[in-house]
């Protein structure tokens, strides 16, 4: 069992984490290349909205959303280099997309083109550029309206 440590976060105050909770990025998130250690936080286990909190900079936190919650037919295709770096065949990867939440919720978007791919087996991650044609800014609200019966 690994040692627990306390850390201060931007949105959740002080939390206790262990080494198994951390995710190591192979290369940093675009624009934040120097930060490679993160933890995923959420209010409750069934939430589709989470926070990617940097362990190196408490002010650095991204809002993440399960892409399948906003785009049911999401089917990401990675190139061979990304699969190799993640030590993956692709089948076990978990995908999360970065969201930009605006004050007017109707202007909120997610980046479907460059998701974060996580290999849960070795806790490595990488923000990838998909081979598929997905938008960089996909409106969350129009997606929800499209899913209504």
- Torsion angle of alpha carbons 44, 45, 46, 48, nearest 10°? 80
- Structural domains in the chain (count): 1
CATH code, 86: 2.30.290.10
- Is residue 48 within 8 A of residue 65, CB to CB? The reply is yes
Measured CA to CA, the distance from residue 85 to residue 141 in angstroms comes to: 34
pTM of the full predicted structure?
0.88
Residue span of the structural domain in which 112 resides: 4-146
Q: Report the distance separating Cα 111 and Cα 134, nearest Å.
A: 8
**Per-residue pLDDT reduced to its tens digit, 127-139:** 999 999 999 999 9
* pLDDT tens digits along 17-75: 888 889 999 998 999 999 999 999 987 777 888 999 999 999 999 999 999 998 999 99
């Amino acid at each position: 069992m690994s040692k627990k440590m306390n850390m201060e976060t931007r949105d959740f105050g002080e939390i206790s984490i262990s080494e198994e909770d951390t995710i190591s990025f192979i290369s940093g998130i675009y624009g934040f290349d120097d930060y490679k250690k993160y933890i995923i936080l959420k209010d409750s286990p069934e939430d589709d909205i989470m926070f990617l909190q940097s362990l190196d900079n408490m002010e650095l936190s991204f809002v993440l959303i399960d892409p399948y919650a906003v785009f049911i037919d999401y089917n990401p295709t990675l190139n061979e280099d990304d699969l190799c770096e993640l030590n993956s065949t692709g089948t076990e990867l978990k995908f999360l997309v970065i969201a930009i939440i605006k004050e007017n919720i109707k202007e909120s978007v997610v980046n479907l083109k460059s998701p974060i791919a996580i290999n849960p087996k070795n806790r490595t991650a990488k923000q990838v550029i998909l081979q598929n044609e997905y938008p960089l800014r996909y409106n969350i609200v129009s997606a929800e309206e499209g899913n209504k019966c």
